[in-house]
């Protein structure tokens, strides 16, 4: 779902300067969220846009959305604090923004490093389907990526796949194996707001079909010790995710929001020749995580 910003709203937001955000631990402060909501709801057609966004993320058949903030990025500058505060305010309409990494700011840079593991988010290779912070007992409910610069050589389309639809296409025996706590991936240290380390974990963490996280990362197929049956079930899921994937290029100012309880995400390889591109011109995304609100409106 690609969501354009109505011209009346764009014009109003370009002239509006939101206050600098404050944090409460790892979370965006409730006072900041209230200020942002008050400011945005005073602009024309904002509530209509927010409702469309909510439906795309949580309505039947939904699970991801791309807010097209390119005109705002062009008018304000994609690296301008005013633009980043507007993107944060849109995110706060969905859930509570937070940073699980105490050593990073609220928004984390994901640039391109040619000497990095190619399969990592900042690498140049294929970044296979995964959910972020898969090995935490409380993974972020939403993972978001704001495109500052796409790959100037034309590579790196985003890929997404409906995780529960992929699971539904598997055999009952495979689903039973995926529900067993047999999987491991990654390290776990110096993190905020994502619970405790989950090791080992089941890929399917809910007995209710179509609900809960699908705790999957294709990288664990190569980097975890799995029995043959569990590995084969995970490979079958990986194949179904690829079969059902959608792919698109993020443009400057595009803001991708992924409901991690429904969709998994990844990225195709960047175009060859990244070492010829100056670092300042390479693909750059900013990442922000969101925690669904509890009933009282605070962070879960």
CATH number at residue 281: 3.60.130.10
Q: Report, as an integer, the average pLDDT of 94-117.
A: 94
- Examine residue 298 and state whether it is found in any structural domain, yes or no: no
β-strand partners of 247: 159
- Examine residue 299 and state whether it is found in any structural domain, yes or no: no
Q: Taking the CA of residue 115 as centre, how many other CA atoms within 13 Å lie in the half-sphere pointing to its CB?
A: 1
- Examine residue 146 and state whether it is found in any structural domain, yes or no: yes
- Whole-angstrom CA distances from 281 to 49, 118, 148, 212, 267 are 32, 19, 10, 39, 19
Phi, psi of 208 (to 5 degrees): -90, 110
- Examine residue 300 and state whether it is found in any structural domain, yes or no: no
Is pLDDT above 90 for 207? no
Is pLDDT above 90 for 176? yes
* Domain range enclosing 190: 2-291
Element (H, E) at 256: strand 254-259
pTM of the model: 0.95
Q: Report, as an integer, the average pLDDT of 204-230.
A: 85
Rounded Cα distance between 147 and 134, Å, is 23
Count: domains in the chain: 1
- Examine residue 262 and state whether it is found in any structural domain, yes or no: yes
Q: Report, as an integer, the average pLDDT of 134-147.
A: 97
Is pLDDT above 70 for 86? yes
Residue pLDDT, tens place only, 274-284: 999 999 999 99
pLDDT of residue 79: 76
Confidence of residue 296 (pLDDT cuts 50, 70, 90): very low
- Examine residue 297 and state whether it is found in any structural domain, yes or no: no
- Examine residue 98 and state whether it is found in any structural domain, yes or no: yes
Q: Report, as an integer, the average pLDDT of 230-256.
A: 97
Is the backbone peptide bond immediately before 277 cis, with ω within 30 degrees of 0?
no
Angle at 150 between CA 114 and CA 220, to 5 degrees: 55
Residue pLDDT, tens place only, 155-168: 999 999 999 999 99
pLDDT of residue 294: 74
């Amino acid at each position: 779902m690609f969501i354009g910003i109505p011209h009346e709203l764009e014009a109003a937001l370009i002239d509006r300067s939101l206050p600098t955000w404050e944090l409460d631990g790892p979370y965006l402060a409730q006072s900041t969220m209230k200020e942002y909501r008050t400011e945005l709801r005073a602009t024309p057609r904002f509530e209509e846009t927010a409702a469309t966004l909510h439906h795309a993320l949580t309505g039947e058949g939904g699970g991801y959305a791309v807010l097209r903030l390119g005109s705002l990025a062009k008018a304000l500058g994609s690296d301008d604090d005013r633009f980043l505060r507007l993107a944060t305010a849109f995110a706060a309409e969905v859930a509570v923004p937070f940073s699980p990494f105490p050593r990073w700011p609220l928004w984390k840079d994901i640039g391109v490093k040619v000497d990095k593991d190619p399969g990592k988010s900042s690498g140049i290779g294929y970044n296979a389907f995964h959910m972020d912070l898969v090995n935490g007992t409380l993974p972020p409910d939403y993972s978001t990526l704001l495109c500052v610069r796409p790959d100037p050589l034309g590579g790196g389309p985003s890929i997404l796949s409906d995780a529960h639809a992929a699971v539904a296409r598997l055999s009952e025996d495979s689903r039973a194996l995926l529900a067993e706590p047999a999987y491991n991936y990654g390290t776990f240290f110096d993190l905020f707001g994502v619970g405790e380390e989950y090791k080992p974990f089941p890929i399917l963490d809910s007995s209710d079909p179509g609900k809960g996280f699908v705790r999957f990362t294709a990288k664990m197929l190569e980097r975890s010790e799995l029995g043959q049956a569990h590995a084969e079930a995970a490979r079958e899921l990986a194949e179904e995710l690829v079969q059902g994937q959608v792919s698109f290029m993020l443009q400057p100012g595009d803001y991708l929001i992924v409901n991690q309880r429904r969709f998994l995400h990844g990225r195709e390889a960047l175009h060859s020749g990244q070492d010829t591109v100056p670092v300042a011109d390479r693909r750059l995304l900013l990442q922000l995580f969101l925690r669904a609100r509890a009933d009282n409106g605070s962070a879960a």
